Amino acid sequence: MKKIQISPSILSADFSQLGNEIKRLEIGGADMIHVDVMDGHFVPNLTIGPPVIKTLRSYTKLPFDVHLMIDPVHKYIKDYADAGADIITIHPEATENLTDSINHIKSLKKKVGVSLNPNTELSVVLDYLNKIDLILIMSVYPGFGGQKFMPEIIKKIKDLNVIKKDKNLNFDIEVDGGINFSNAKSVLDAGANILVSGTTIFKENNGDIEKNIKTLRIA
């Protein structure tokens, strides 16, 4: 069984103190840093780009788990790799050729993730599972932090985990969207091994990041 990892989303951090917030996450026991990149086109919000990621890179040695919610995505992949991303996750709908984009990420010596929105079927990625490192299952429609977890996503996690075991594959199953203390256990029990959480980690227990990360990990 894979180690349970916590990837805090800096979408819920204090943007005026991002470097210090990342240091707090590292001290608090985060396994990686989840960076949500939104273009205001593929999703209805704008966040940060390569220059900010490059600046933040010096604040921690933790892996940067970069989720690209941009369309078209392919031509920007190298920019995020050069900025310091360690894992680059893309959406199938945002590239004209998923195979080419996967190979491009691999050629840059980065881990490859593919993200599935709540309405994106598992069938979209079945032919690629042996080529990627991570599947990110969205349990909200991406765009904004603080949304409510969609419980119907549990079945998708379970189904993906069955496929993973049947094919004897080793990719990570990451879940993002409304993850909190009350639903983390059901997500992990379904087969996920990486939890993305922003609001819960930064806001619960008066912002006690270490306690919140530990509580999610042992849910």
For residue 35, list its beta bridge partners.
Answer: 66
Known catalytic residue at 189: no
| Of 36, 65, 133, 172, catalytic | 36
Quote the pLDDT of residue 119: 95
Neighbours of 36 (CB within 10 A): 24
User: What is the span of the domain harbouring residue 41?
Assistant: 5-217
List Cβ neighbours of 199 (8 Å cut-off, separation of 6 or more): 12, 145, 146, 180
Q: Specify the length of the chain in residues.
A: 219
For the chain, the domain total comes to 1
DSSP code of residue 63: P
The pTM assigned to this predicted structure is 0.96
Known catalytic residue at 100: no
| Of 65, 159, 176, 189, catalytic | 176
- The pLDDT tens digits of the residues spanning 158-216 come to 999 999 999 999 999 999 999 999 999 999 999 999 999 999 999 999 999 999 999 99
CATH number at residue 201: 3.20.20.70
